[in-house]
Amino acid sequence: MWATGGDIVKYVTTAKDITDVARVFHFLSEAKGRPTIGLAMGPTGMISRLLSPKFGGYLTFGALSKGQESAPGQPTVQDLIEVYRVKSMDRETVVCGVVGKPVYHSKGPILHNRGFAELNLNYVYVPFLVDDFAHFMSVYSESDFRGFSVTIPYKEDALRLCGDKVEFVAKGIGAVNTVIREKDGELKGYNTDCEGALSAIEDGLRHSGLATNSESPLKDKLFVVIGAGGAGKALAYGAKERHARVAVANRNYERAKTLAESVGAEAIELEKLADFRPETGMILANSTSIGMEPEVTKSPISKDALSAYSLVFDAVYTPKETQLLKDAIEIGAVDVSGEEMFYRQAFAQFKYFTGVPAPERAMRDALSSPPVAHKGTLPTRTPPPRTFPVSAQCSIGMFNGRGLRVSQFVCAYPFKNGWSFSHSAHFGMLMERSQVPSGSFALRY
């Protein structure tokens, strides 16, 4: 396509896996100053739109508003500009992000990118929708892919990948939620979930007057953890370190038993948790994704069973008030939202990513008062001529000898009562004959 002498080259594919996007980034980096657009459609291709400016992309595409996407995996213009700051992104931008499946519910990009902007750091934080953690990390192995928040279901995979370069707490928990690529290329693993969650629960007990021990409000209390994954391990480990008595309930009893044995706790089948009431005043901590958007009416335990608990914590933070927490409030228990854990673990991650303390107030404000989304509309009046290309496709042209179509890119400008097509630039876009309807013309402003 470059060899045709086109003014702008556009290459669009569909990513079946997030590692496919690396080929698009390579394509953009080879442009050598030639105006080039490279994008990958689909959910796993979103980072091609978010990171296009870093790799020299001529432009990227955004929807006018949520629900008006013209292609799969397309973010809104508002998010591109206000959250990901694409206008200030360049080749030196350091990339961090959240790795998981699912991942697009995460508020991490809003939180961390506000922190980067507040300190004027040339960093960006993006969501990585990943199917194979180890393969993803091996493909995106450049030094400017610096820091990774690891969420469900990859915290144990991250522990294995980091090998012996895992901090003491993360090793004791058996789960890593933060991976840092060091200058020598080695990966180091940390766990910020533990301190983030347990400190939030302890403060909840203190502020409600339920703290009865000056050493730790959790000392000697019965601490029940739902879930035996990475977050569950962090909660069980942290509670045991604070001298609480721990019990672990999980849908898979064998996993509950394994975790319980590792921290000297009791294992419970999740189906029997409703009848587990050895005493009152217990602490309940849900580490599973039950109740997360969109299944907001679900809860891991019935409301009636909550009567034995004085405090209920839910690691889920979307929504902020889950069904579990609503039920806890109704029966009179103290509720602690996963949002507070999310803040605290993110502040610690921010320092690992950047080497400087997080601007906590600015980051909290990012979620408490996010930018108001505006519904995109076309101008009501005809604006004066401008000098930027409007996204337009012309599928009228000639087929070459190989049966591939060379189409044109049309630069159009609004002018008086209609459109002024001031010039046509040759557009080196090749399409299969079967994909191009003859005589069609589509223009999007």
Active site residues per annotation:
155
Yes or no: say if 367 and 319 are a contact pair by the CB < 8 Å rule: no
Neighbouring C-alpha atoms within 13 Å toward the C-beta of 316:
25
β-partners of residue 12 are: 39
Q: Are 398 and 406 in contact (CB under 8 A)?
A: yes
Rounded Cα distance between 60 and 62, Å, is: 7
Burial per residue of 320-351, b for 16 or more beta-carbon CB atoms within 10 angstroms, e otherwise: ebbbbbbbbeeeebbbbbbbbbbbbbbbbbbe
- Pairwise CA distance, residues 30 & 9, whole Å: 12
Count of C-beta atoms within a 10 Å radius of residue 127: 24
Cα separation, 212 vs 190, whole angstroms: 31
Please give the helix or strand (H or E) that residue 12 lies within, else none. strand 9-14
Cβ pair 1, 428 in contact under 8 A:
yes
Alpha carbon distance 1, 401 (integer Å): 15
Ordered strands of the 282-286 beta sheet: 266-269, 245-250, 222-226, 282-286, 309-314, 334-336
Cβ-based neighbour number of residue 416 at 10 Å: 9
- DSSP-derived letter for residue 174 is T
Question: Angle between the 360-368 and 108-118 helix axes, to the nearest 10 degrees?
Answer: 140
> From CA 123, how far away is CA 316, in angstroms rounded?
27
Q: Where are the beta strands (DSSP E) in 227-372?
A: 245-250, 266-269, 282-286, 309-314, 334-336
